[in-house]
Structure formats: structure tokens, C-alpha cells
């Protein structure tokens, strides 16, 4: 039986004061969360703050990106081992904003996935199609290509130690959520694709949905058989919304 995972992606939001208020609210309210896990992926400078606030709490933490390199002359970059130093459990890889705004191609995303796992982090691999790709009926082709790039370097054994987040790009930050049926169809496709390599890995793989999830639509999305929780952007900045979404995953 898979346990649902709800992860917040704070993106480039927050301040020491705002984060303190949010984390102070999350810790007690999520202490009793049962049968589901939760995490927050915070901007790099606030990892230490997250570590201090969340140590021993029922909320894990992680980063939103990492370098594919272990160390070296890569000005401005942050390595997987640095994230481990700050107690991270998760690292997002291949978020659509990284792919679209920072030119991360499938090979780079796959290299980041491997770098994260090598250091002991659990990568949350984001995949998903743009609106043009959906309208061109190539959603499955796009998602398959994104998964294949990772399978080629990490193998199905690598995928077994990861989380996949299906995030249709047209639903991210737009207020347009995929319908539970639309999301379920792609989740089922992802699971079937992984099952071609290993039925066991496919059955155990946590596949989150992301794209304008909020308290009002979370329960319906999470009730679909292949949707194992969510990756939450905007709504993760509100303690009330995020807690309600986590509870919907129970």
C-alpha cells in the first residue's frame, strides 16, 4: 500500500519572519497527520531555518533544485551533499519552471536525479506537458520521454527510490486544475509505463499530482486510484490551506 505524500514547493517566496510564522503553524497542526507524509521544499537560504524548525517534527524538508555536479567551479550552484548537510530528505528535479526558464533539458534533469540519489536524497521528479503539447495530443509522448531520460541513467531501481510528480504545465500557478479524471489518466499511464520495466516498482511508486491543488479540490484528486498526494505551490504558502491539503491525503 502506498502512503500519500504532500510536498509544498515554496518557490522564490518567503522571508525569515514569514517562514517562522508558517512553520510554527505547520508543526503542531501536522503532528497528528497519520497515514500520509508531508514535506516543504524551501529556498536554499532557508534550509537551515527549516532544519531548526522541523527537526523531530512530522514534516520533512527539502530543496527545489540542486546541481548535477558533486563539487567544483560552478559559481552559484548548490550540491546534493550540501543539501544533505542541512538535513534535506527531498530535492525537486525538473520542475517545469526549471525546464522552461533555466533551459534544463531531459539529460540535465536525469543527471540531477542521479546526483540527488547518490547523496542519499529522494528526488521528486517533475514531469508534465505544456498546453500546446496537450492540445497536440502528445501528452503521453512527452511524459514518456521525460521518464525515459531518467530510466536510461538511473534504471528502474533508481525510480524505485524516488517520487514522481505529474504536473501539467498549463495547470501550474494558473488556477486551472486538471480534472481528477484527466490527472488519473496520465498517472495510470505513468504507472503502466514503469510497470513495463518492473511491476513491483510501479505498484510502489508514489506519483503526486501538481497544478493548482488547493484545499477545495485536494480530496477529489487524491481519491483517484493512481494519485498519491500532491506537489503544492501557491497553496503551500498558507498554513490553513496546506494543512487541509495534507489532511485530505490521510
| Residue 173 touches ligand PEP, criterion: CB under 6 A | yes
Q: Is 10 annotated as a binding residue?
A: yes
13 is catalytic: no
Phi, psi at 126, each rounded to 5°: -90, 130
| Residue 168 touches ligand PEP, criterion: CB under 6 A | no
Q: State in angstroms the smallest separation of the CB of 188 from ligand PEP.
A: 20
User: Which span (17-25, 137-145, 154-162, 211-219) binds ligand PEP, by CB under 6 A?
Assistant: 211-219
Q: Is 9 annotated as a binding residue?
A: yes
In angstroms, rounded to a whole number, what is the distance separating the alpha carbons of residues 109 and 117? 12
> Cβ-count burial of 220 within 10 angstroms (0-12 exposed, 13-18 middle, 19+ buried)?
middle
Q: With b meaning 16 or more CB within 10 Å and e meaning fewer, what string describes 164-200?
A: bbbbbbbbbeeeebbebebbbebbebbbebbeebbee
- At residue 229, the 3 state secondary structure works out as strand
| x-marked contacts with ligand PEP along 215-244 as a string, rule CB under 6 A | ----------------xxxxx---------
| Residue 190 touches ligand PEP, criterion: CB under 6 A | no
In angstroms, rounded to a whole number, what is the distance separating the alpha carbons of residues 218 and 77? 34
Which residues pair with residue 7 across a beta bridge? 39, 231
**Closest CB to ligand PEP among residues 210, 229:** 210
| x-marked contacts with ligand PEP along 2-41 as a string, rule CB under 6 A | -------x-x------------------------------
User: Which span (26-34, 69-77, 188-196, 205-213) binds ligand PEP, by CB under 6 A?
Assistant: 205-213
Q: State in angstroms the smallest separation of the CB of 70 from ligand PEP.
A: 26
C-beta separation of 149 from 112 below 8 A: no
Say what angle helices 180-197 and 215-222 make with each other, to 10 degrees: 40
187 is catalytic: no
User: Which span (54-62, 136-144, 166-174, 198-206) binds ligand PEP, by CB under 6 A?
Assistant: 166-174
Q: Catalytic residue, from 97, 129, 167, 241: name it.
A: 167
User: Which span (81-89, 184-192, 195-203, 209-217) binds ligand PEP, by CB under 6 A?
Assistant: 209-217
Active site (catalytic) residues: 95, 167
Residues interacting with ligand PEP, by CB under 6 A?
9, 11, 167, 172-173, 210-213, 231-235
The binding site for substrate consists of: 9-11, 173, 212, 233-234
Amino acid at each position: 500500500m502506498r502512503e500519500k505524500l504532500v510536498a509544498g514547493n515554496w518557490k522564490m517566496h518567503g522571508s525569515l519572519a514569514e517562514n517562522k510564522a508558517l512553520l510554527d503553524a505547520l508543526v503542531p497542526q501536522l503532528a497528528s497527520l497519520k497515514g500520509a507524509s508531508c514535506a516543504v521544499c524551501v529556498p536554499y537560504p532557508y534550509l537551515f531555518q527549516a532544519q531548526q524548525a522541523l527537526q523531530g517534527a512530522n514534516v520533512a524538508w527539502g530543496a527545489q533544485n540542486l546541481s548535477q555536479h558533486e563539487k567544483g567551479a560552478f559559481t552559484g550552484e548548490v550540491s546534493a551533499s550540501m543539501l544533505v548537510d542541512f538535513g534535506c530528505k527531498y530535492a525537486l528535479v525538473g520542475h517545469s519552471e526549471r525546464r522552461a526558464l533555466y533551459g534544463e533539458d531531459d539529460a540535465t534533469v536525469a543527471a540531477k536525479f542521479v546526483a540527488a540519489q547518490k547523496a542519499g536524497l529522494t528526488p521528486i521528479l517533475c514531469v508534465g506537458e505544456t498546453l500546446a503539447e496537450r492540445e497536440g495530443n502528445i501528452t503521453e509522448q512527452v511524459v514518456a520521454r521525460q521518464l525515459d531520460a531518467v530510466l536510461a541513467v538511473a534504471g528502474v531501481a533508481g525510480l524505485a527510490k524516488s517520487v514522481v510528480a505529474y504536473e501539467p504545465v498549463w495547470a501550474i500557478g494558473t488556477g486551472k486544475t486538471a480534472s481528477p479524471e484527466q490527472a488519473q489518466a496520465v498517472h495510470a499511464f505513468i504507472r503502466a509505463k514503469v510497470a513495463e520495466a518492473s511491476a513491483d516498482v510501479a505498484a510502489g511508486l508514489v506519483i503526486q499530482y501538481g497544478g493548482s491543488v488547493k484545499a477545495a479540490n485536494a480530496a477529489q484528486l487524491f481519491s483517484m486510484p493512481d494519485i498519491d498526494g500532491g506537489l503544492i505551490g501557491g497553496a503551500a504558502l498558507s498554513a490553513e490551506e496546506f494543512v487541509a491539503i495534507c489532511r485530505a491525503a490521510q
